[in-house]
Chains A and B, each alone.
Chain A
Amino acid sequence: MSVNFILRAGERGFSRLVSTGINATYVAGHPDGVITRHSSFNFHEYQSGIAGFGSIRVFGDEVFSPGGTGYNMHPHHNFIIAAFVLSGALTHVNTIGKVDELRAGDYYVFSAGSGGKHTELNIGQEDLQVIYLWVLPDHLLGPPSYLRGRFDVAVNGNAITCLIGNEPGALPIGQSIKVSRLVNDRARTHVYRPVRGNGVYAFVLEGEAEIAGTLLARRDSLAFSGEERVEIAARSASDLLLVETAL
């Protein structure tokens, strides 16, 4: 197996966006509203890191402060944007006509395709923790779409569970990308089998896990490829996201 890169939590890009000044129209919320974003890949003003992996271009680990903070309605094309809510509540509004509220375990996939806009807000009273994933589509300017799903740890804990992709129970988006989640209640070892030639970006949300001889702590990540059978050894109660992509 080849490890494409190891990215420690503290090595990611960091942005702190406030709802005043230059971002006043982009960032929603009262004057004290703050979004923090740790970026695994180059994004906006952070351009000194890794450009992407396969079709992945954005992996943002974000926190929105309470009381209306978020991103005001803004446009997209083409990108497939997925959000995975870790805690708090996300209010999502899009130009497909969907107004949605997502809580811990909920996730969505918004394919911007030929054009769409969305708003992302935390109108709750606690911080919103959310992971944003952007991937390049297999086709440009397709029909926009929105799908939502839910990861239920009581049902799908202690197993690699496909959230997005062509597997039963997952959101089918007709793309080569596949996203899985693995929540363990204690140390356990699992086997992940990528499609031949694909790469996998593994991100540790919580706990510790060992992949390819590398111990990953909270918010560390690693990308690997070139193997059809990869052991993922959780070293503790843990929570991982796995994004498989063609390379």
Chain B
Amino acid sequence: MQGCYNGTMKKYLCLGCGFSYDEARGLPEHGIVPGTRWADIPDDWVCPDCGTPKSGFEMVEIPYWSQA
């Protein structure tokens, strides 16, 4: 079950700087708990590193280096 659950979690990459958001990991240091869906992040949220708006992120299906 857990595998199926994780498989539906998506990653998003900031096209302004490359910062990545992973729904499974969230951003606890920025107040976003693990498991938070991209759709549930406010539209006025911006990249914590470069200020690019949420609309400037792209969903990516790229594995982590640590999984390679």
Contacts and interface: CB of A to CB of B under 8 A. Distances in A.
B65 A76 contact: no
Given A57-B15, A76-B18, A77-B19, A140 B64 contact: yes
Question: On chain B, which size bracket covers the interface?
Answer: 20 to 34
Nearest to A26: B50
Contacts of A76: 17-18
A143 B18 contact: no
A102 interface: no
Given A75-B49, A77-B49, A139 B19 contact: no
A139 B64 CA distance: 5
Contact of A140 (B17, B58, B65): B65
Interface in B33-68: 49-50, 52, 58, 60, 62-68
B11 to A, nearest CB: 7
Interface in B1-17: 11, 13-17
B46 to A, nearest CB: 13
A79 B50 contact: no
Nearest to B17: A76
Given A57-B15, A75-B49, A139 B68 contact: yes
Given A78-B18, A112-B18, A137 B62 contact: yes
B13 to A, nearest CB: 6
Contact of B65 (A42, A57, A75, A113): A113
A24 to B, nearest CB: 14
Nearest to A116: B18
B48 to A, nearest CB: 10
A142 interface: yes
B16 A141 contact: no
B17 A79 contact: yes
B17 A136 contact: no
A136 B60 contact: yes
Nearest to A134: B18
A193 interface: no
29 contacts: A44-B16, A44-B52, A57-B58, A74-B50, A75-B17, A75-B19, A75-B50, A77-B17, A78-B18, A78-B19, A78-B20, A79-B18, A113-B65, A136-B13, A136-B60, A137-B62, A138-B62, A139-B63, A139-B64, A139-B68, A140-B13, A140-B62, A140-B63, A140-B64, A140-B65, A141-B64, A141-B65, A141-B66, A142-B65
